[in-house]
Structure 1
Amino acid sequence: MMDLLWWEIAILIVAGFGAGLVNVMAGGGSILTVPVMMFLGMPGPIANGTNRITIVAHNASAIATYLRHGVPHAKLCASLTAVAIPPALLGAWFSTRLNNEQFEGLLAFVMVAVLLLMQAPQGKKSASAEDQPQNLVLGHVLMAAAGFWGGFIQIGMGFVVLPIMHRVMGLSLVNTNILKVFIIFTYTLLAIFVFAATSEVLWVVGAIAAIGNVAGGIVGARLTLSHGEVLIRRVLTAAIIAMIIKLLFFP
């Protein structure tokens, strides 16, 4: 258990809020919460496990909304979730085997990769047309690989899952976002117990960040400003660059 000062609690809530906002508007919110937890003195592997509480909370709030309208492709959602769970648990276990120096080096590499992905052209986000599942075998194989990554570090998972379901499997972006929430919620909820059993999870710290995360998700979902996503991407880019410099040159 970390003894938190009032300003550290405030920073966690603000970081959680920013992550929730980013997850809705752009994706990659964990890239804010994990580094902030590390800045507050938490070892990287423990921050990685503790951050899963915010992910579960964020996705649970989204599920509560989606369930009112029904789950599209429910059987496909169940099968994709089922193939993602075992590799996600394995990935979580592998993550707990890293020491702090190894985790920081990996995190710096991942943040550079996510930064490059964010700058790549995104294309028009149309609701797509057909929405007829295709390439089912390939889609499930790729989702299993994505599950390992989600369990291992989670950061940038949205950039991995969305192309699998949208571009490979032919689902609309609307339904892809809905299914993504159910898949990530389920394997992350189970992965938390792997972290708790093999490493450590700071439940109170995670719950504090989760408060901001849920609030940020709600605000992000309702934000209709035309340049909202552009602004968030710019702020997130600046934050990522600052953290990369810190990890590489001021360990």
Structure 2
Amino acid sequence: MRNREGWGSVTWWEMVAVCAAGVGAGAINTVVGSGSLITFPVLLATGLPPVTATVSNALGVVPGSVSGAIGYRAELAGQGRRILKLGAGAVCGGLAGATLLLTLPAAAFERIVPILVGLALVLVAVQPLIAGRLRRRRERSGGRPRADVGPLLFCGLTLASVYGGYFSAAQGIIYVALMGLLLDEPLQRLNAVKNVLVALVNAVAALFFLFVAEFDWTAVLLVAAGSALGGQLGARAGRRLSPRVLRSLVLAVGTLALGQLVIR
């Protein structure tokens, strides 16, 4: 366990546990999201203070986010313009969230985070029903399906990125929920965009933390090594899932994440 003597007193089993948590987080982040709900408690268990654990985790999961996005590169084909638009909002939102983490009291987001995650899960669950109704309405009116980024989606994802820069758990679920509701695209292609946006938010938050926040390099490197491997494993498994199975997995992991957030 980490104590006042620092990571020099940490055991090999604790180091293995942190690295393994990174693998799990990288895989789950790529397929669904909420991987930080694995690494964050493990880092706390080693004795890291909450803010230091949050910052170290944010730095450590960046390689996993990038690895997962690379693993989904086939599903990213033809989405360059969309990613540029949404990515700009993700970078701004991520930087704002990282700033809030270091300026607001720790309890500032505790009440709103479970509400956001709960609403996202509801949207994911009812998205096929809503999409079906919108499709039938377009067919009756002769309208075209929305394939571009509108103001509502841009603002929604930018705000979600503020949350992601502050506390990244379940941000991917919120992204998928918003895009699934407002874009007419297969779930796997939306998941690919989600991975890029998460990578951008994590990267900009990590760069900010490098200069202004306290973190632990040992924890960062252990999580980074694990998450990079987990990102590739998650991409290989996730791309093979059917939309129904992927949606069910999102709901299952998101429900567990919501439960953990409520009881914290």
TM-score, normalised relative to structure 1: 0.77
What secondary structure sits across from 2:7 in the alignment? coil
Equivalent pair of 2:93/2:165 in contact (CA under 8 Å):
yes
Aligned residues: 241
- Aligned: 1:216 with 2:230: yes
Q: What residue is the counterpart of 2:66 in the other structure?
A: 60
User: CA separation in 2, counterparts of 1:160 and 1:234?
Assistant: 14
CA contact (8 A) 2:121 2:254 kept: no
Task: Please give the alpha-carbon distance, in whole angstroms, between the structure 2 residues aligned to 1:209 and 1:93.
Answer: 22
Match of 2:28 in 1: 22
Match of 1:122 in 2: 125
Shift of the alpha carbon at 1:172? 2.4
In 1, the alpha carbon distance for the partners of 2:246 and 2:153 equals 31
Q: Give me the whole-angstrom Cα distance separating, in 2, the residues matched to 1:154 and 1:215.
A: 19
- State how far apart, in whole Å, the 1-side matches of 2:219 and 2:160 are: 27
Task: Report which stretch shifted further, 42-51 or 216-225.
Answer: 216-225
Task: Give the Cα separation in 2 of the matches to 1:78 and 1:38.
Answer: 36
Conserved? CA contact 1:93–1:198, under 8 Å: no
Q: Which has the larger radius of gyration?
A: 2
- Give the structure 1 partner of residue 194 of structure 2: 180
Asked if 2 retains the 8 angstrom alpha-carbon contact of 1:30 and 1:51, the reply is yes
In 2, Cα distance between the equivalents of 1:146 and 1:239? 16
1:205-232 C-alpha deviation (Å, 9 max, x unpaired): 1220222223333333444799899799
Residue pair 1:52, 1:192 contacting (<8 A) in 2 also: yes
Q: In terms of mean alpha carbon deviation, does 33-42 or 236-245 score higher?
A: 236-245
Residue 183 of structure 2 is aligned with which of 161, 169, 182? Answer: 169
Specify every segment of 5 or more residues in structure 1 that has no aligned partner in the other structure, as ranges. none
Q: How does 1:170-249 map to 2 (within 5 A)?
A: 170-223=184-237, 245=263, 247=264
What TM-score, normalized by structure 2, do the two folds share? 0.73
Taking only the aligned residue pairs, the percentage that are identical comes to: 24
Equivalent in the alignment of 2:174:
160
Find the aligned partners of 1:229 and 1:140 in 2 and give their Cα distance.
22
Q: Structure 1 pair 17/78, CA: closer, same or farther in 2 (3 Å)? A: same
Pick aligned residue for 1:145 from 159, 174, 184: 159
2:45 aligned residue (35, 39, 43): 39
Correspondence for 2:7:
2
Q: Deviations over 1:75-110 (max 9, x none)?
A: 1110111122122211101101245xx35x855874
SS of match in other structure, 2:125? coil
2:250 and 2:85 mapped to 1: Cα distance? 33
